Structure 1
Amino acid sequence: MQTRKKLLGLMWLKLALAAVLVGFLASLLAISLKHITEHYEGVFFGRAEKYNFLLLILPFLGLSVIYFLRLYLFKNKENKGIKEVFESTKPGKSLPAYKIPSHFINGLITVVFGGSTGIEVSTVVASAAVGSIAHSKESFLKKYKTELICAGVSAGVAALFASPIAGLLFAYEVISKKASKSFLFATIIATGVAGVFLFFMDEKPLFAIGLSTWHYHAIPYFILLGILAGMNSVYLTKCVLQIKSWFLKIKTPYYRVVFGALIVGIGLFLFPQLFGDGYHAVKENIATSGTTPAISVLLTLAACILLKPILTSVTLSSGGDGGVFAPSIFIGALLGLLLAFLSNRFFDAGVIPLNFMVIGMAAMLSASISAPFTALFLVCGLVGSYVLFWPILVVSLVSKYVAQKLCPYTVYTYTAKTTA
C-alpha cells in the first residue's frame, strides 16, 4: 500500500513537472508571436497606408513566401489549423516538432503581409505541439497525451489574451470536452505558469477600454445583437467551408496563391481596415465610438462586416495560416458598433456604442467556436474589465443557441467530423 502511494505521488509529480515545462514554453511562444506580429504588422500597414499600391502587392508576397517555405522547408504539408489538434488527441496520432516553427512563421507572415486572419489558431496549434512533444519524451507520460496537449493550448491562449481562465475554458470547451482529474491538474498548472509569465511580462489588455456601466433598457438591443452575431457566425462558417471547396478545384497549388492574393489585395485596397487581424481598425473605432457617425461610416462598417468573412476564407484557402478567432472578434466589434449607431440614430435607443462593441466581440466568438464561457472570459481579458460580465454571458449564450439552430456545426466541428 505504501509503495502504491509513493508511485502515485511520483506519477502526479512527473505530470506536474511536465505541465510546468509545457506551460512555460507555450507562454513564451505565444507572447513572442504576439509581440513580433504586432510590431511588424504595424510597420507594414503603416507603409501600406502611405503607399496604397502596397495593399495590392503585400498579400501576394506573403502567400508566395508561405507557399515556398511549405514546399521546401515544412515537408510540403499544409497547416490544417485546429483540425490538427483534434487529430493529435487520437490514438497513434501526434503533432510533429516542425509544426511549432511552421505555424509560428507562417502565422506571422500571413498577418504581417495583410492576410485577413489572425495568429490565434497558429498559436494554439504550435502550443499544442509543445504538449504533444512532451508526452512522447517519457513512456510514463504517453497516457497523458491529451492532458499535455490541452496544457499547451490553455497556456498559449492564456498568454495570448492575458486571461488564464479563458485558456483553461478553451482547452475544455473546444479541445477536450471532458474534465478528468488529470486534465484539470495539468491545465491548471500550465495556466498558472502562464499567469506568472503574464505578471512578470506586465502584459496589458489588447483593448484597454474604460467601461463604466450598462443600462437595463439596453437588454432588448443586447438580445438582438446576440441573434445577429449568431447569424453572422454561420455566414462566416459557410464562407470558410464553401470558398475552401472552390479553391480545392484549382488543381495547381500556386494558382490558388495567385488567385487568392489578387482577391485579398483588391479587398484591402478598397477597405484597408481588413488588413491582417483588423485589430488596428477595432482600436480606431473604439476611439471614435462616442461620436455621431456619418452615413459613409455606417456603410463602411456594413461593408467590412460582409467582406471580412470572404477575405478571411480566401486567405486561408490560398495557403495562409490562421483561423476564425481574430475575424470573429473584428466582425463582432463592428457589428455591435453598427447596431448601436443604428439603434441610436433611428430608434433613439440611448445605448452605449462602446458596450456593444465589447459584447459583440464575445457574441460573435462564442457562436463561431461554440464556446460561450471561453468567449466571456477571453473578451473580458481583452478589454481588462468585467463590468459587462452578465450581459456578455447572456448574449454569448443567445448567439451560440442561434448559430446552432441555423447550422449544427462550426468550422472546427465540421472539419473534425469530415476527417475523422
Structure 2
Amino acid sequence: MTTETAVGDKGKPAPQRRDTYNGAAGTSATGYSSAKGRPGSLNSTGNRPQKTQPNTGLSRPQSGVSTLYYSGEDDLDQLRQKYVLLEGDRRAYYETSQWTLKQNQETVHRLKKENKELKRQLSEVNSQRGALEPPANKDIRALEKKVHELRATHDRLVADRTRGSEKLMRLKESLQALEKDKQSLLAVDSPELRTIRSLENRLDKALVKHNEASSLSRTYAGIAERLRDERATFDSQLRAVEESLRAKGSDLEQLAAMSAEAQQAKEAAMADLRAAEAALARERERRSRELAERREQAEAAEAKRAGGDPAELERCRAAAASYDEAFREVQEATGVVDLAEFVDRFLSQEAVREDLKVRPDRGRWLLREGSLSPLGGERVAGRGAPSAIFSPSPFTALLRAPFSLREG
C-alpha cells in the first residue's frame, strides 16, 4: 500500500490518492490495470480471467471442455499470460514508486525550506516580543527553561539510579548464586574442588619458579652490566696481565736456576755434613779411647800410689775432685762438652795472649770491638751469647793434670 500526501504552496495538504496493489491479479483498487490503463477486472479479450491452478505439469481440464481435445499447451498459454501481466504490473509499480519517491523528495525539500522560513519568522517574532515584554517575563522564561533542564537532569539521574539499582540487584543475585555454588563446592570433595586445588598448587609452583627466574635474571643482568663496564678496560688489563706473566715467567726461570743451584749446594752441603759427621764420630771414638786409656793410667797410678803414703793418696783424690768440679763449672760456663774442644780453645787462647803481648795495639782494638774481655780472656762467639772467659790460673793445672798423672 502506498500513501502519498501532497502539500500545497500555502501549506495546505492536497487531496490524497491511495493505490492498493493486488499482486495476484496485477491490478489496483481503482479498477484499472497498472500495465496498460485498461480495467483490471477484465483480461485482454474483455472477459474476467479465470482462477488459475498451481502448475503441476498437467492441468485438470475445465468443466464443459471435452477431454478428447485437451493438451498441456492451454496451461502453458495461461502461464505466459500470467507472466506478461506480472511483468507489466512490476514495471508499472516500479515506475509509480519512482514517481512517488521523486514527489516525496520534492515535498520534503519544500517543507524544509518552509520550516526554515517559519523558524526565522518565529525568531523575529520572539525577538520583537522580547524587546516589548517586561524583564520579569524574561526571567520567568529563563527559570522555566532552567526548570525544564533540571527536570530532564533529574529524570536522567532517576533513570540511571533505576538502572544501577537493577544492575545491583542482578549482581547481588549473581553473588548469592556464586556463594551457593561455592558452598556446594567446598562442602564435598568434588572433582571441581580437586581441580581448583591442583591449579592453585601449580600456580604457587609457577610463582616460585617465576621469582627464582626473576632473581637469576637480575643477577645475570648485573653480571652482564659489569662485564660491559669491564670490556672498556679489558684490553689494557690483558696487556698488563701478559706483561706480568712474562715477568713472572722470567722470575720463574731465575728461581728454577736458583733452585737447581740451591739443590746442588744442598747436596754438596749434605755430603760435607755426612763427611763431617763421620769425621766427628771417628774423632769422638778416638777421644773416648784416649780418655779411657788415661783413666786406666790414672787408676793404675792411683793404685800404685795407694801402696805408698795414704796422705798422698788422699791429696790426689781431693785434687781429682777439685778438677772435676772445675771442669763442670767450665762446662756450665762455656757450654763445651768435649774435653778436646776445650783444650783447643784454651790453646788458641794462649796463642792470642802471646800475640797480644807482642802487639798491644791489637789488644786495644779488640777491647774496643768487645771481642776481648777486660779481664784478660777472649770472648768466644757462639750460640747467641758470649762464651765464658778463659783464665789460665785455675784451669792450667786441670789441663796439665792428666799429663802429669800419665807422666807419674
> Is the structural similarity TM-score above 0.5?
no
Q: TM-score under structure 2 normalisation?
A: 0.18
Higher helix share: 1
Indicate the structure (1 or 2) with the bigger Cα radius of gyration: 2
TM-score with structure 1 setting the length: 0.17
